[in-house]
Amino acid sequence: MVLPTPRPAPFTPKRPTASSSLNSLLSSTHKKYKASITSESRIRTTTSSLARPKSSLAPVPSSPTKSPSPRPRTPNTPRSKSRGPFDDDSFSRDIHEMDVTNVDPEEVLVDFETVGDISAEIDEADIPRVGGEDKVMVSVRVRPSEAQSAWMTDISTSTIKLDPSHNKHVSTPGSASSFTFDAIHTGTPNKPIYTLSARSHVHAAMDGYNAVIFAYGQTASGKTFTLSGTKEEPGIIPRAMKDVFGFIRNAPAREYLLRCSYLEIYNETIVDLLAPPSTNGSNIVQLQGTGPSLHLAPLREQVVTSYKAVQDVLKQGEGNRRTACTDWNERSSRSHSVFRVVIESRERDEGARREAATPEPSGRQTPGGRQTPGLGGRQTPGPKLQARGGRSVQCSVLSLIDLAGSEKATSDKERTKEGKYINTSLLTLGTVIGTLAENAAKKKSDHVPYRNSKLTRLLQPSLSGNARISVLCTINPDASAIGESTSTLLFARRVKGVALHAQKKEIVDTDALIERYRKEIEDLKQRLEDREKEAPVRNRRLSAREQIDESKAMKDLNARIQQLTKLILTSQNVEEGAGDASRPASPVKIDFDMTPYQLQQELLNARHQLESQATQILALEAALLDRPALPTSASEDEKDKLIVDQTRTIRELEMVVKGYEENLGQPLRQVKEDVEKEWVVKVEEEKKKREESERWAEELVKQLDREKKNRTKLENERQALAAFVTKFDALGLGGSAPVVKLQPPMPAVGGAVASFTERRQTTRSAFPTSTLPPSYEEEEPASPERNATRPDAQQDNLLAQETGDLSPVRLGMDAQPSLLDQALPGEDDWSMLNEVSFEAELEEKPRAQKSKTSTGGKLFFGKGAVTGKNLRAQSPVKDILAGKENLPI
């Protein structure tokens, strides 16, 4: 019975830790196990533990540690951010703030001036030309290990060979032979890896060639460490991007436009790592077209103008990458990741260079009124530089690829499934590379199965020759991994055989948009100039409000001109290291494959941003106008001169003001005095008039009071007389006529006049004409005949006697008709009435009765026989009656 050979223990990299607390936590868990992804499990720790060298090699990574993680995420599940080489406090900016749909490529150009001072960052070492331009550059990196390395390396000859002591333990074909490549790397530092194995390719990309750098190797062999690195030991990607800006810095004759995208191939699905994670698959990228016209859509690209912007992009992409804890690697990449930089560049024109040399006060205004071309076509998403004046635009793509590691079946089902996809695609890559190498070696053109995997399809344009390629093969030096390492080295050897024939891609494109923008700027400038010329004349005609509007319109024009001409980043305002906060939001995302609705939304947002920026610009302009005419750094002489000038201006203005005062002051004062006098007279007149009116009103009030009093008195008199007549009748002095209870009418407005008229007519009919006062005669001549003609006269008279209506007072009232009939009665007339005292009369009543009894005579009022003498002696009423009524007494 053959016992199964025990499976060699897989490499268990020691996890470098950044914090001591985390370190102590992890040091207690050196056991290997599997776990699913969590944000914790994806924490990339750094290298304090790497400082534990065993020999000349750097310390070995620790074993994976258990993480209480939930299940791995599905491709479309939004993933949380993890800490990685690009995690930094400066990454705090939300990537969505940088979304701008409509990016003007001219506005995001980077050139040697705009890139800032990066001298401290650039490795000035000569770029080694290893590998040749028609061959793939292949380097091997041996990861440090705590265990004895199974491989012997000779860095000077770039050779690696399995230690002969292990030959007897392995049966992998070819493992015994030695391998020679372009470079062999050991140790932890990433800088030599970049300098020797990547830098020339980055520069080739900047020169207009497509370039691909990818890391290939067994899981946990150090691919991600090599490409991304850590914060302390940045990998190829961050170094390459710094170098890109350094390259621009050293290329004063050209200007560049950079666009980044970041994607991963997970379980044969291409996912956009920069698109917002979504559940409806909107971040799934499709491969469209074939061969050289192959492109990815929809793919979000971000225009970057500084290294800081690149860091933001990397951070977002890293946060979205799928990693998981496996049996071999605590944070294993479960996908192939591709970071792409599209580099467009063109020659700068002479005018631009000259103007750039003398910085404009308005910042990065484009020299010579640089035209703003539109965006590129859909075929190449994102903004495209436009060729200028027949000069071409170079376009190249730098792809930095971190392949997932080949691995054996794991104890986790999910990881096993992922591993299957990973291994299949790596196998296909191997096959494709093998075929290409064989075709190159044997000058054949056998079918290359690019289509067998997404990875090879994606790499097709590069692998088919039109790219400079650098392959970094990472190996685990442990004896337990000799099989995988040998396989990696064999792959590397095959790759070495692939022939390349990379070509620069140049576009000559004379897009009319440039002219359109240039013309718009010229038109706007002309309009502004015209308005400025007319301004003094026009402003005299305009109201204050209109003048404000006019000045706003001019400011708007100015703002638009500045917007259009402010195009190119200059060395003064872009910093390669820390980024430039004064720059417009950058990097700027472009995705022309979004739905129209999404594009509209982004456009709307961008417009809002533009508006608020325009407002800011206006405010800054205003502040600029308000600032002192001299900078604070101006020399004392200049300041003195300015003060003298301004003093002179003030004096001149004072003289002008004085002249006005002298010439116009006196006449104006005279006019003012005249007007004041005139107004004083008018005011006096008006005062008098008002006083008169007030007096008149007071008089009226007084008269009204008197009228009221009189009315009250008259009413009292009436009531007294009514009582008197009643008593009179009750005494039987009214004859045989039955006693009729007096029912005096109630006073009413106009009622006195009506009563008076009625009584007058009654009286007229009752008295002989001769006894009537002349007024009666005049008004209506009374005669017996006439009376006889009045059949009702007798009856009226009788009725009057019966009702006692012919009272002396009423007759008196006849003489003094009514207060209401007189507008303003004289004082004398009223005094007569005032003298009438009914109380006194009533007091006299018993006396009158007594007299009547004693004399036995009759007491008549009206036509009765009562003597006027008695009445007059007893009451002032009787006097009135005697005097006014002219009655026979």
Ligand X SMILES: Nc1ncnc2c1ncn2[C@@H]1O[C@H](COP(=O)(O)OP(=O)(O)OP(=O)(O)O)[C@@H](O)[C@H]1O
Q: How far apart are the first and last CA of the chain?
A: 178
Cα separations (Å) of 765 from 87, 212, 483, 738?
130, 143, 159, 22
Q: Per-residue string for binding with ligand X, 42-71, x by CB under 6 A? A: --------x-------x--x----------
Q: Which CB, 27 or 771, lies closer to ligand X?
A: 27
Nearer Cβ to ligand X (106/330): 330
* Given 10, 72, 105, 222, the residue binding ligand X (CB under 6 A): 222
Whose Cβ is closer to ligand X: residue 404's or residue 752's? Answer: 404
Q: Is 219 annotated as a binding residue?
A: yes
Taking CB under 6 A as the criterion, the residue among 12, 175, 200, 221 binding ligand X is: 221
The minimum distance between CB 341 and ligand X, in angstroms, equals 21
Nearer to ligand X by Cβ, of 222 and 808: the residue is: 222
220 is a site residue for ligand X (CB under 6 A):
yes
289 labeled part of a ligand binding site:
no
- Which of 195, 261, 332, 816: binder of ligand X (CB under 6 A)? 332
- Does residue 281 have a known ligand-binding role? no
Site for ligand X in 404-423 (CB under 6 A): 404-405
Instruction: Identify residues 457-496 at the interface with ligand X (CB under 6 A).
Output: 474
**Interface with ligand X (CB under 6 A), residue from 101, 188, 320, 488:** 188
Give the interface segment with ligand X, choosing from 25-33, 117-125, 221-229, 241-249 (CB under 6 A).
Answer: 221-229
365 binds ligand X (CB under 6 A): no
- Token pair, residue 626, equals 């308000």
- The answer to whether the annotation marks 217 as part of a ligand binding site is yes
218 labelled ligand-binding: yes
CB-based contact 240:273 (threshold 8 Å): no
Which listed range, 161-169, 220-228, 340-348, 627-635, lies at the site for ligand X (CB under 6 A)? Answer: 220-228
- Kindly state the tokens that stand for 746: 């109630």
Nearest to ligand X of 219, 460 (CB atom): 219
Q: Least Å distance between CB 558 and ligand X?
A: 54
- For residue 404, the minimal CB distance to ligand X (Å) is 5
What is the SS3 string spanning 691-714?
A: HHHHHHHHHHHHHHHHHHHHHHHH
Under the criterion CB under 6 A, does residue 225 sit at the interface with ligand X? yes
CA triple 641-646-650, angle to 5 deg: 150
Nearest approach in angstroms of CB 1 to ligand X is 36
Q: How far is the CB of 247 from ligand X (least distance, A)?
A: 26
Contact flag: residue 15 with ligand X (CB under 6 A): yes
* 46 in Cβ contact with 232 (< 8 Å): yes
Identify which of 743, 870, 716, 880 has the alpha carbon closest to the alpha carbon of residue 802: 743
Minimal distance, residue 97 CB to ligand X, in Å:
31
Size of the site for ligand X (CB under 6 A): 24
| Residue of 271, 232, 239, 256 lying closest to 74 (CA atoms) | 271
Q: In 731-837, which ranges are continuous DSSP H helix?
A: 751-766, 774-779, 784-788, 791-803, 808-815, 827-835
Stretch that binds ligand X, among 197-205, 222-230, 435-443, 519-527 (CB under 6 A): 222-230
Q: Is 224 annotated as a binding residue?
A: yes
Please, what is the minimum distance in Å from the beta carbon of residue 495 to ligand X? 17
Instruction: Please state the closest distance from residue 57 (CB atom) to ligand X, in A.
Output: 9
* Rounded Cα gap, residues 620 and 214, in angstroms: 47
CB nearer to ligand X: give 231 or 727: 231
Least CB distance to ligand X at residue 46 (A): 8
> 3-state SS of 541-609?
HCCHHHHHHHHHHHHHHHHHHHHHHCCECCCCCCCCCCCCCCCCCCCEEECCCCCHHHHHHHHHHHHHH
3-state secondary structure of 420: helix
Give the pair of three-digit tokens for residue 885.
């009524």
| Binding test (CB under 6 A) with ligand X, winner from 329, 365, 399, 488 | 329
Residue 383 binds ligand X (CB under 6 A): no
CB of 302 to ligand X, least distance (A): 24
Considering the rule CB under 6 A, would residue 137 count as an interface residue with ligand X? no
Tell me which stretch binds ligand X (CB under 6 A): 325-333, 460-468, 759-767, 772-780.
325-333
Q: What angle do CA 486, 489, 495 make, to 5 degrees?
A: 145
Least Å distance, CB 189 to ligand X, is 8
Number of helices (H) and strands (E), helices first, in the chain?
23, 19
Determine the 3-state secondary structure of 506 from DSSP: strand
Q: How far is the CB of 131 from ligand X (least distance, A)?
A: 21
Tell me if 12 contacts ligand X by CB under 6 A.
no
Task: Sort 190 into a burial class: Cβ within 10 Å, 0-12 / 13-18 / 19+.
Answer: buried
- Contact 489/19 with Cβ under 8 angstroms? no
Q: Quote the least distance from Cβ 599 to ligand X, whole Å.
A: 36
**Under the criterion CB under 6 A, does residue 333 sit at the interface with ligand X?**
yes
Based on the shown chain and the rule CB under 6 A, indicate whether residue 143 belongs to the binding site for ligand X.
Answer: yes
Q: Which of 84, 85, 131, 144 binds ligand X (CB under 6 A)?
A: 144
Nearer to ligand X, 266 or 861 (CB): 266
CB burial readout 697-734, b (16+ within 10 A) else e: eeeeeeeeeeeeeeeeebeebbebbbebbeebbeeebb
- In 3D space, the residue among 594, 517, 395, 575 whose CA is nearest the CA of residue 107 turns out to be 517
Q: How many CB atoms lie within 10 A of CB 655?
A: 10
Q: Which is nearer to ligand X, 13 or 369 (CB)?
A: 13
Please state, in angstroms and rounded to a whole number, the distance separating the CA atoms of residues 738 and 760. Answer: 24
When the beta carbons of 192 and 888 are compared against ligand X, the nearer one is: 192
**DSSP type of residue 54:** S
* 570 belongs to the binding site for ligand X (CB under 6 A): no
Side chain identity at residue 520, one-letter code: E
**Identity of the residue, 236 or 574, whose beta carbon is nearer to ligand X in the bound complex:** 236
Choose between 26 and 58: whose C-beta lies nearer to ligand X: 58
Could you give the 3-state DSSP secondary structure of residue 308?
helix
Question: Among 84, 85, 116, 217, which residue interacts with ligand X (rule: CB under 6 A)?
Answer: 217
Per CB under 6 A, 319 contacts ligand X? no
Least CB distance from residue 320 to ligand X, whole Å?
A: 15
Say if residue 373 is exposed, middle or buried (CB neighbours under 10 Å; 0-12, 13-18, 19+): buried
Candidates 216-224, 244-252, 340-348, 735-743; binding stretch for ligand X (CB under 6 A)? 216-224
> According to CB under 6 A, which one of 10, 16, 84, 105 is a site residue for ligand X?
16
Cβ proximity to ligand X, 339 vs 728, nearer residue: 339
What b/e sequence results for 248-287 when a residue is b if at least 16 CB atoms lie within 10 Å of its CB, and e otherwise? bbebeebbbbbbbbbbbbbbebbbbbbbebeeeeebebee
Tokens of 727: 């008593």
**Contact characters 637-676, ligand X, x per CB under 6 A:** ----------------------------------------
Among 836, 845, 829, 842, residue whose Cα is nearest residue 882 = 836
Cβ atoms < 10 Å from Cβ of 771: 15
Instruction: Give the pair of three-digit tokens for residue 344.
Output: 């467009």
Quote the least distance from Cβ 326 to ligand X, whole Å.
6
Distance of alpha carbon 883 from alpha carbon 848, whole angstroms? 20
Find, among 723, 711, 714, the residue nearest to 804 by Cα: 723
Binding site feature residues: 217-224
Binding site feature residues for ATP: 217-224
Residues in touch with ligand X (CB under 6 A):
13, 15-16, 50, 58, 61, 143-144, 188, 217, 219-225, 329, 331-333, 404-405, 474
